[in-house]
Structure 1
Amino acid sequence: MRHLLKTVSAAAAVAAGVLTVSAVSTGAAGAATAEPRGLYAPSDLVLTVGQGEDAATATVQRAVTLSCAPKATGTHPAPRAACAEFSAVEAQFEKLVDAAPKVACTKEWNPVVVSAAGVWQGKHVAWSITFGNPCSMKAALGTGALLNF
């Protein structure tokens, strides 16, 4: 019985030692400060189109990523054009939406939400807009590169 207790005590001591070393090494890693990764402020966005009235509850149908610095990349079908367009409107999504589109759409209620979230030139951005149906979304977004994916 004493031999069993010594074995259990030794195993517990080893386990405690491993946990202590693990905690110390994790603490040191967690305490490290974030180093800048480059000369450019981050500009990374996630753009989505979803079915529903609200971006928080919509069912996402399509999503793309867009990174604009130091070069345009991501899953967006036209990253260079999208980055150039967003830069041209000074990161104001509202300027990309035509308030009075020239296309006639039905009045059916089949809401679609377009949203964007991420970082633009180091600043957090979050934006969404709801359209009555897919036709009104296409009409309001026109042929711009950023929100047509």
Structure 2
Amino acid sequence: MTYTLTTKAVRGGLLAAAALLAVGAAPAPATAQESRVSDWLYLSVIRGDARSSDTSGTLLMCDPPQGHRRAAEACTQLDAVHGDISRMPLKHAYCTMVHAPVTVHARGQWRGQPVDYRQTFSNDCEMEARTGAVFALDG
């Protein structure tokens, strides 16, 4: 009889411990600092056509801003549009009508949401007018 009570007591204690561990193991809500760490985009810029292209790429991270020479500015601009590059405001610029195609691609995540943006522009000037500092990878 004592053996049965001890087994029941042990089982009850194990169940209580498991319940406490399950409650303690629940993930805490992400803080603003933690969500910034998850903001990253792999950026690539392809100049020219597919046969004779000049490609550059980098990883943009925003806590702290790093990845290319205008990373802080790019992170601020991305914050303003919640990571949606297609919503970036058009910058007023006088661009020549020189056809020098530039294809940009951004993939990664922003505030936990996936980002996959691809666009071809007529030239560098048009690209920067539409995407700001995000794809300013070259010096």
Please, what TM-score do these two structures have when normalized by structure 2?
0.58
Aligned partner letter, 1:65: L
- Contact kept, 8 Å, 1:58 with 1:113, in 2: the verdict is no
The alignment partner of 1:77 has SS state of: coil
Instruction: State the identity as a percent.
Output: 25
Alignment match, 2:46: 50
What per-residue deviation string (whole Å, max 9, x for no partner) do you get for residues 59-113 of structure 1? 4522121112xx2243221322221211111212123362x854142253x3210
Mapped pair 1:65 → 2:65: no
Alignment match, 2:136: 148
Measure, in 2, the Cα distance between the counterparts of 1:97 and 1:58.
Answer: 31
- Contact kept, 8 Å, 1:111 with 1:133, in 2: the verdict is yes
Measure, in 2, the Cα distance between the counterparts of 1:121 and 1:138.
Answer: 24
Which segments of 5 or more consecutive residues in structure 2 lack a partner in the other structure?
1-26
Aligned residues: CA RMSD:
3.2
Alignment match, 1:86: 78
Measure, in 1, the Cα distance between the counterparts of 2:89 and 2:54.
Answer: 20
Q: Count matched residues.
A: 106
Cα offset for 1:135?
3.9
Cα offset for 1:117?
0.5
- Contact kept, 8 Å, 1:111 with 1:130, in 2: the verdict is yes
